[in-house]
Amino acid sequence: MKRFTSLFAALVLGLGIQFSAAANTVAPDALVKSVSDDVISIVRQDKAIQSGDTHKAVSLVETKVLPYFDFAHMTRLAVGKDWKQASADQKSTLTQEFKTLLVRTYSNALTKYRDQQIDFEPLKAKPEDTDVIVRTKVRQAGAKPVQIDYNLEKQGDSWKVYDVLVAGVSLVTNYRDEFGQEVRAGGIDGLIKTLKDKNKQIDPAVAAKK
Amino acid sequence: MKKNSKPESTLVRRSTLAIGLTFAVTGCAGPGGHPKDPLEPMNRATFQFNEKADKYVMRPVAEVYDQAPLPVKTGVANFFGNIADVWIGVNNLLQGKFTDGLSDGGRFLLNSTVGLLGVFDVATEIGLEKHDEDLGQTLGYWGVGDGPYLVLPFLGPSNVRDGVSLIGDFHFDPLMQLEDVGARNSLTGLRFVSKRAALLGADTAAEEAALDKYGYMRSFYIQYRRNQIFDGQPPREKDPDDDDSSDNDKAATDKSAVGDAADKSPSPDKKESQ
């Protein structure tokens, strides 16, 4: 009986600890892991996404992934030095268009998911750090694992992803040269126009036909 | 400005080539050009050629090959991966990474025997991780600069250092040691197709993501090689521009400063102490 009570106490205590952890900040590596686990378990069961339903993949990304990304920061990084010359309006349009571009491109990638396994490397960070890298490796049969690293920044009580690196290539800064070129050719508005055109061109409805 | 030039007449192409060479000689990146890409006109011409060759020959062949059952494709990739491990190991030794070099040797011995001539990658199963090294990385490791960006015919993105290093990689390529020309050529062809097929999917993603595919691939290659040279742990480059509030550091963030940023990164050998 005594053993039973202590077991019960441990259980309550355990639950209590878990609840308090949830109320406070979720560690950055735990965050990335839970989001990826979540998304993968959905894709695994969703035949529509597996057979290339980009619309569905996009909405999955929008609900499950986007809340943990800081697109304003990503856009600022991608635009680089020209960011300063953009007006507040232009900044928010740029952010919106860049977000659309990234979400569509990488949601398409999600439809290609086939049982890859994600390994998480131990997080190397001090408790007081506000900028960390969560390193993962995606393993698949017959190929070298692909390194995927997430840069996260602490904002208040939560962590937000501001860059993703695939095989060491930043999906964000990879745009910097192209964006710079566009701005030199047609100013910030030129860049906005190019992004809008590009987004129309890869609209899922159009992309699905390929 | 339209960057995707249509296939031009030979005359135009020759003149772009000449312009490219002039830039090479003077080392001048035209106004607004990429600091790492003084040969851009010539590179773009080669890029266009590669795109066409890929669209009409390489990609279709890779798509046919991709129909093969997964175990077959895996076996083929493993076979070529195994014979590559020898040169990878040598390059690890050349970089002073003895543990990695020995592990590569061990991988080759194990996979060549137990793994039935490399068809099965048993070494990875027991925890000997596959590495990725070549002569260009070894030179980069010891601080040799990459030089101008270079697009090679058929082989794609490279730079002067890596392009020249390919001659060494090629010379020590086990397939090149084969006496039988027929076997050598067919195996080299199969390896090429196997590698191209592995990139199916990634190529469409790049197509969708890029505003200008040439520029996208160039940035990609530069970052990718840097990552390889640092074995997957390059220091994050400082982002002088990543500051929402600063307005008075214009001089610090002008083009030349940004262009030099890559060269100022700490040399790779420093991170060995981590």
Number of A:B CB contacts under 8 A? 104
- One DSSP character per residue, B105-152 reads HHHHHHHHHTTTTTTS-HHHHTT-------HHHHHHHTT----SEEEE
Best A84, A106, A176, A184 residue to mutate vs chain B (most B CBs within 10 Å): A84
pLDDT for B263 equals 41
Predicted local confidence at residue B231, as pLDDT: 84
Q: What is the DSSP string of B217-243?
A: HHHHHHHHHHHHHTTT-PPPPP-TT--
**Cα(B118)–Cα(B82) distance, integer angstroms:** 5
Q: How far is B85 from chain A (nearest CA, A)?
A: 13
In tens, the pLDDT along B21-72 reads 444 444 444 456 788 999 999 999 999 999 999 999 999 999 999 999 988 9
Whose structure tokens read 């994600």? A118
A50 in reach of chain B (CB within 8 A):
no
CB B90 within 8 A of CB B214: no
A19-33, A35-49, B184-198: least confident range: A19-33
Q: What would the pLDDT profile of A159-182 be if each residue is shown by its tens digit?
A: 899 998 888 888 888 898 889 888
With beta carbons under 8 A apart, name residues in chain B contacting A169.
219-220, 223-224, 227
Q: What is the pLDDT of residues B173-211, one digit of tens each?
A: 999 999 999 999 999 999 999 999 988 877 888 888 888
Average pLDDT value for residue range B70-88: 92
Rounded to an integer, the average pLDDT of A14-37 is: 68
CB nearest to B1's CB, from A167, A173, A185: A185
Which residue in B132, B223, B243 has the most chain A C-beta atoms within 10 A of its own C-beta, making it the best mutation to test that interface?
Answer: B223
pLDDT tens column, A126-159: 888 888 899 988 887 656 778 889 999 988 888 8
Is A4 a residue whose pLDDT tops 90?
A: no
Contact A178 B70 (CB under 8 A): no
> pLDDT-based confidence at B6, cuts 50/70/90?
very low
**How much is the ipTM here?**
0.76
Q: Where are the domains of chain B?
A: 34-50+136-172+200-262
Please check whether residue A80 touches B, CB under 8 A: yes
Place of tokens 């003149």: B15
> Is pLDDT of B11 > 50?
no
| Residue A104 binned pLDDT confidence (cut-offs 50, 70, 90) | confident
B214: which chain A residues are within 8 Å (Cβ-Cβ)? Answer: none
Mean pLDDT of chain A: 81
The closest of A122, A100, A91, A114 to A207, measured between CA atoms, is A100
The whole-model pTM stands at: 0.76
Question: CB contact, 8 Å: A142 with chain B?
Answer: yes
The beta-carbon neighbor of A169 closest among B77, B132, B227 is B227
Contacts of B201 in chain A (CB under 8 A): 109, 112
Chain-chain contact of B32 with A184 (C-beta, under 8 angstroms): yes
Chain A CB within 8 Å of residue B274 CB: no
